[in-house]
A and B are shown apart, each in its own frame.
Chain A
Amino acid sequence: MTAVGQSQGEVRAAITTAHDRVWASIASPGATLPGTKRCAIVSEARAASICSLCSRRKQAIAPAQVDGLHASPSLRAGLLTEAEVEIVHKIVTDPGRVTRTWVDQQLAIGISDSAYVEIASLVCLIRVVDTFRKGVGLPELAEPDPLPGDPSGYRPPSAADEGAFVPMIPINGLDEDTSDLFNPRAFVPNVQRAFSLVPDSTRLANQLMQSHYLDYQSVTQYTDDDHDRSISKAQMELVATQVSLYNDCFY
């Protein structure tokens, strides 16, 4: 267990370790983005929650018809492009209305499919850390300081169209560089493969799942005899359902 300062108790070390790993990863160059852009996405994801344009679009029947400028610290500072800011804000504020058409529009502007996945995964990872800390009453972590270096440019050679908006690694498409991402001999939920175009994001998501909930391969068939969490399966599934409803998640 790890003490967490202003909070009222302690947090399991596995949780804080996973958060530390996410934050350290954000600072480093990714597959397509340098550390500067990755770190800027932290502030951008937080700013999206109070963006008036996003608020108006969220209330609109047809969000694409609501014009305006995002309230964006990164755009003003020249750290992110308009397309990158649009992706961050949409996934934070209205993820349930992301469509293939909208994703294709971002790709047509010049965002690569790998960059789209990297940005989307960073938003998701940041939301885990920020939501947990807000929930237990801890202050937000400071935006990390970017580390120098170039993006790796790594792209899994087996990534293919699997019916999603962007390519994923097929269940039988792992190689020696990606063999740790999931177990193809067990049930692999598609959400575990969602970020597999950027394998490091899948690795971080896997660690967060194991420390916050259960590993991906257990979630469809676990019972209260299969986990050591202090709350019941019914309570965990109630929470999961509520978040899904709140975010209007189709999956």
Chain B
Amino acid sequence: MVHGQLVSDVPAGEVITTFVQSALGADEVALQVARRRVVDRLGWERFVDLTAVMAMFELNTRAADAIGIPLEAPSVEGRNGLARRFGFDARAGGFAPQE
């Protein structure tokens, strides 16, 4: 999904993807290069906005998993249906991992 068609359909998707992967990783040189490419391509303001979204999802993902929140009822069937189609691990009832 990230390396496939979706990325190429999103404006500047390739440089954004490389930047996020670098920012979440530990290679400082790679991050510097990726950062420069995003700023050159999109400008500083857009770069700041996408960095802010990235930072926020460091909270949202960990909050969800640390607290084990269940999926909202309207999301359960849709998500599990999609997961089953692609062979992912569906969550019966939308509950987080128990064991």
Contacts and interface: CB of A to CB of B under 8 A. Distances in A.
Interface of A: 8-12, 15, 49, 91, 95-101, 103, 117, 120-121, 123-125, 127-129, 131-132, 134-137, 162-166, 168, 189-191, 193-195, 205, 208-209, 211-213, 229-232, 234-236, 238-247, 249-251
Given A8-B44, A117-B67, A246-B24, A135 B62 contact: no
B46 interface: yes
B6 to A, nearest CB: 7
By secondary structure, the B interface counts as helix
Interface in B39-59: 39, 42-59
Contacts, number: 219
Contacts of A162: 70
10 contacts: A100-B99, A123-B62, A123-B66, A124-B59, A124-B62, A163-B69, A191-B69, A236-B49, A240-B57, A241-B2
Contacts of B1: 241
B40 to A, nearest CB: 11
Contacts of A229: 49
A129 B49 CA distance: 14
A240 B53 contact: yes
